[in-house]
Chains A and B, each alone.
Chain A
Amino acid sequence: MQLIDKLEILADAAKYDASCASSGAPKRGSKGKAGLGATNGMGICHSYTPDGRCVSLLKVLLTNFCLYDCQYCINRRSSDVPRARFAPHEVAELTMDFYRRNCVSGLFLSSGIIRSADYTMEQLIEVARLLREEHGFRGYIHLKTIPDADPLLIEQAGRLADRLSVNIELPTEASLLRLAPEKQVRSIRQTMSQIHDHEAEAKAERRGPAFAPAGQSTQMIVGADATDDSSILATAQSLYRVHRLRRVYYSAFSPIPRSPASVPFAAPPLLREHRLYQADFLMRGYGFSAGELLTGPGNLALDVDPKLAWALSHRELFPLDLNRAPAELLARVPGIGLVNAKRLVELRRHKRVRFEDLRRLRVSLDKVRPFVVTADYRPTQAESPSSVLRAQLREAPTQLAIW
């Protein structure tokens, strides 16, 4: 099979992995050196695909042959898809070629499980080793880590890669048992804590070798089972707290060709995935806990974003006086993000904040209006009930049905 045909199959097989981040790596460069590649902590999106996603890394599977039979996965062994396998040197050379052309900033390599977890992991490591040692590549490398692989292999992978990830796959153990019978929560969690331990060690010993300096991430499939958002967010929160993950990615279950009867035929609304990302961002960046965003079982609202939903059920805190409120509360106002909260704190050192200032900061005025007090403004709707506000502020449904 020609290289270009393998690329087609193995890129198609990799598109269900949502992560494309190339950020968080330490500052490295190749100026005046043999070899190629730099990282500076910031990711670069080199292109955008018709599904609106960013292309930052060459994202491929080493092979889509797989011994496992995960029901939601297009590459499961019972799936009737074209199969291919790259030789490790082919992936290394493709990475270098795309990197030279400035099409990507690195590689995100994953694989179906062939022969054994250890063998598969060895093959992934071999690609990273070729890149780092033979090609002198200093760009970004993200390796998918195979749970159940030997701890020594995980350590080797972390020495070569900027980021490691182990997919949690499904939010609950029961779903994993039903849909991914070869995978176990225990070994997935174990691998995550091994990675975390190595990270902590490497951080403690500054002169020692680095270990996955951009941390670890994971992916959860949403809508392949009946798990609700509150369980999903609780799982995500525990992953952030226990294993110190940098990111949890949510991947709305996507219909696959010749789908087995164990998974739904239709995709969940993409909006649900979007709301989960928003909630996740509120947990990572704004100090919200999962329990604040969803107080009981159920899903996040689709008609309003999670911060607005939270504010609507905490009207006793609003309207908030932007000239007096503590800095950490500013970013909890619907329509005011982290950046604008910081700008407001700076601005109010110099002057009294007026409503016109919010327009200049390009705050969404409709959203912010019922929740703030400024030097010259006090909302008339402050007394209007949340249900009325909600009806005014809800987002019109934009997602079209399949036609």
Chain B
Amino acid sequence: MWRISLSGGFEQWRREARALLLAGVPPEQVSWDEVGEQADLFASLSAPVPAAASGVTVRISARVQALLESAARYRTEDRWALLYRVLWRTAGGDMAAVLAGDVDGSRLMQRVRAVRHEIHHLHAFLRFAPNPQAWGPRHLAWFEPAHEVLDLVGEHFSQRMGRESWMIATPGPGLCFDGQRFDYRESCPESWRSQARLAASDPMALWQRYYSSIFNPARINPEAMRGHMPLRFWRHLPEGALVPKLLSQARLGGRRHGQREALAQQRGKTIAGRPATASESGGEC
């Protein structure tokens, strides 16, 4: 039985897994521990991985490598054991290990999907607020990703934001773009975090008013809303706090005629007089 302690990420796992694979150690003889920085204290508990039999090589397709790399970003207690089992099986030619219909493959693909989803969540639900201070990046965001994907969203936001500078702070890493270059920090500096939190308190008044007006109170469907957008995102969004009030207002009045009370109470205006044909000039506006 080999016990491997990992303190780093995918690259460290890859080195260990490669050595084990070359030595022919099957998955059921390995246990993987994920430990913090003090991991080295216990490293000696684990026996050294045996040397590879000479002349043994392993080929892993680029696709499988990409799947493993992606699944490794999924945050869970036992992320490495599954990856080694899949690696072991595919190295032995059993490609079903990466198929969604397989025992291991379904778990692997579920993690790959969750990681892909989380990238999408950042693209969608992150909000930049203007930096109120005169210095530093012009747009600031705070986000709490469920998986390790921050380094993958830089390209997307640099394509959106052109030469404008921005920064994303998280409880883990941080990512900054000055309009030309990325600055990725494995551990987000505290100063970035406090800047981002300060900016995130911007209520975004125009956006809030838009959000309150663009839905149809006659069609409220809170289950669908929450189904599409998990609860954990709402508390970081400026519109999240509006939802309970909007729902209760809709139940009180808007449900009947599809209009918010705030608007239904405003004075209306019908338009008198119209041209003989629609293409002719006329009207007051």
How close is A104's CB to chain B, nearest CB, in angstroms?
9
| Inter-chain contact B263/A46, CB cutoff 8 Å | no
State A297–B202 Cα separation when bound (angstroms). 55
Q: Which label, helix, strand, loop or mixed, suits the secondary structure of the A interface?
A: loop
Chain A residues 220 to 254 lying within 8 A of chain B, measured CB to CB, are 252, 254
Cβ-based interface call for A202 (8 A): no
Interface size grouping (class) on chain B: 35 or more
| Inter-chain contact A50/B243, CB cutoff 8 Å | yes
Chain B residues 123 to 155 lying within 8 A of chain A, measured CB to CB, are 123-130, 139, 141, 155
Residues of A with C-beta under 8 A to B180: 32
Cβ-based interface call for B96 (8 A): yes
Residues on A facing B (Cβ under 8 Å):
3-4, 7-9, 11-12, 14-16, 29-38, 40, 44-55, 58-59, 63, 65-69, 74, 77-83, 85, 94, 97-103, 113-119, 136, 139, 148, 182, 252, 254-257, 259, 267, 270, 343-344, 346-347, 350-351, 353, 357, 360-361, 402
Known pairs A47-B229, A255-B258; list 4 more (Cβ under 8 Å).
A29-B160, A33-B162, A100-B161, A350-B96
- Nearest B residue to A27 via CB reads B159
| Inter-chain contact A360/B218, CB cutoff 8 Å | no
State A24–B66 Cα separation when bound (angstroms). 26
| Inter-chain contact A344/B127, CB cutoff 8 Å | no
Instruction: Indicate whether A116 sits within 8 Å of B259 (C-beta atoms), given known contacts A4-B206, A50-B246, A67-B271.
Output: no
State A360–B1 Cα separation when bound (angstroms). 30
Among B211, B217, B278, the residue within 8 A (CB) of A148 is B278
| Inter-chain contact A115/B285, CB cutoff 8 Å | yes
How close is B208's CB to chain A, nearest CB, in angstroms?
9
Among B163, B214, B224, B228, the residue within 8 A (CB) of A14 is B214
Cβ-based interface call for B186 (8 A): no
Cβ-based interface call for B279 (8 A): yes
State A50–B216 Cα separation when bound (angstroms). 8
Instruction: Indicate whether A67 sits within 8 Å of B278 (C-beta atoms), given known contacts A7-B209, A30-B161, A80-B269.
Output: yes
Instruction: Indicate whether A15 sits within 8 Å of B216 (C-beta atoms), given known contacts A46-B124, A51-B221, A100-B164.
Output: yes
| Inter-chain contact B210/A52, CB cutoff 8 Å | no
Cβ-based interface call for B8 (8 A): no
Most B-side CB within 10 Å, residue of A12, A256, A259: A12
| Inter-chain contact A148/B210, CB cutoff 8 Å | no
Instruction: Indicate whether A4 sits within 8 Å of B205 (C-beta atoms), given known contacts A77-B271, A256-B257.
Output: yes
Among A8, A69, A100, A350, the residue within 8 A (CB) of B213 is A8
Cβ-based interface call for B102 (8 A): yes
Instruction: Indicate whether A50 sits within 8 Å of B101 (C-beta atoms), given known contacts A82-B269, A116-B281.
Output: no
| Inter-chain contact B101/A65, CB cutoff 8 Å | no
| Inter-chain contact B271/A66, CB cutoff 8 Å | yes
How close is A42's CB to chain B, nearest CB, in angstroms?
9
| Inter-chain contact A50/B99, CB cutoff 8 Å | no
Residues of A with C-beta under 8 A to B223: 52
| Inter-chain contact B269/A361, CB cutoff 8 Å | no
Cβ-based interface call for B48 (8 A): no
Instruction: Indicate whether A350 sits within 8 Å of B283 (C-beta atoms), given known contacts A50-B215, A59-B214.
Output: no
| Inter-chain contact A47/B239, CB cutoff 8 Å | yes
Residues of B with C-beta under 8 A to A46: 124-125
Name the 4 nearest CB pairs between A and B, nearest first.
Answer: A52-B224, A29-B159, A49-B215, A80-B268
Residues of A with C-beta under 8 A to B161: 30, 36, 100
State A225–B243 Cα separation when bound (angstroms). 33
| Inter-chain contact B219/A9, CB cutoff 8 Å | no
| Inter-chain contact A343/B278, CB cutoff 8 Å | no
Residues of A with C-beta under 8 A to B102: 347, 360
| Inter-chain contact B127/A102, CB cutoff 8 Å | yes
How close is B284's CB to chain A, nearest CB, in angstroms?
8
| Inter-chain contact B285/A50, CB cutoff 8 Å | no
